[in-house]
Chains A and B, each alone.
Chain A
Amino acid sequence: MKIAQKLFMVIGVLVLIPVVAVAALAVSARNSDGPSGVFSGGPLVAGELVTGAEPDWTFARDIGTIELQLLEPPRSRLIWVVEHEGKIYVVSGYMGSAIGRLWKRWPVEAGRDGRAIVRIGGKRYQRTLIRIKTGSEVEGVTAEFSRKYRSAMTLATIEAGTTWLFELAPPNPDTNGTPG
């Protein structure tokens, strides 16, 4: 009996070690200025806040990932970006699976409140996330994602909702969100 009890305890500790390790990383990332590779980070604080005229986004063609933070909730993550005809876009894949939707909650949160800040090359930009489900630009944007990241994204995956596409539009003057 005592041997079985000790065995259960040892197994419990072995299970607990990775759980504690991952939890420590997640908590640490949540309190950081920006995300880590997997875990969401805190608000984007550092970096010049670019205001004024709309930037020329063509430089985003050479950027692998950007940091995206929603104002509500104020958490940030790393995300792919493409530029297409002067506008920039981000996507969230795996939205067709339960695990994916559990893993990636920001697209749903962005649907509720699209106010966001992105940090690209150390500079912060205020944006508004607008989900695009269909339209003339989708084919060009998905083609650019496929070219840049070799992803299997198509117009069909966007229209089916397995991939959620957002335009990072200029900030909406009607909203009163001010970044920190």
Chain B
Amino acid sequence: MKKFYWIIGGVMIAVVLIVLFVPGVAEYIEGEVLTWLVRLSG
């Protein structure tokens, strides 16, 4: 069980690093968020 939590922690850190440092990922996520917000508001 403890190992599982370590894996989750590692995955989350990897997600943060990918979002912040891999080119294009942030723009893609922002586009998706914007589309979702506009759809919700419309």
Residues on A facing B (Cβ under 8 Å):
9, 13, 16-17, 20-22, 24-25, 28, 36-39, 93-94, 97, 99-100, 103
Contact = CB atoms under 8 A, between A and B. Distances in A.
A27 to B, nearest CB: 9
Interface string B5-31: 000100110011011100000110111
Contacts of B33: 22, 38
Q: Which 6 A-B pairs have the closest CB atoms?
A: A94-B41, A24-B16, A37-B30, A38-B30, A24-B19, A21-B19
Interface size class of B (residues with CB under 8 A): 10 to 19
Nearest to B17: A24
Contact of A36 (B4, B15, B30, B37): B30
Q: What is the predominant secondary structure among interface residues of chain A facing chain B?
A: helix
Contacts of B16: 20-21, 24
B26 A25 contact: yes
B19 A39 contact: no
Contacts of B26: 25, 28, 36
Contact of A103 (B29, B31, B37): B37
29 contacts: A16-B8, A16-B12, A17-B12, A20-B12, A20-B15, A22-B33, A24-B15, A24-B16, A24-B20, A25-B20, A25-B26, A25-B30, A28-B19, A28-B20, A28-B26, A37-B27, A37-B30, A37-B31, A37-B34, A38-B34, A38-B37, A39-B30, A94-B41, A97-B41, A99-B37, A99-B40, A99-B41, A100-B41, A103-B41
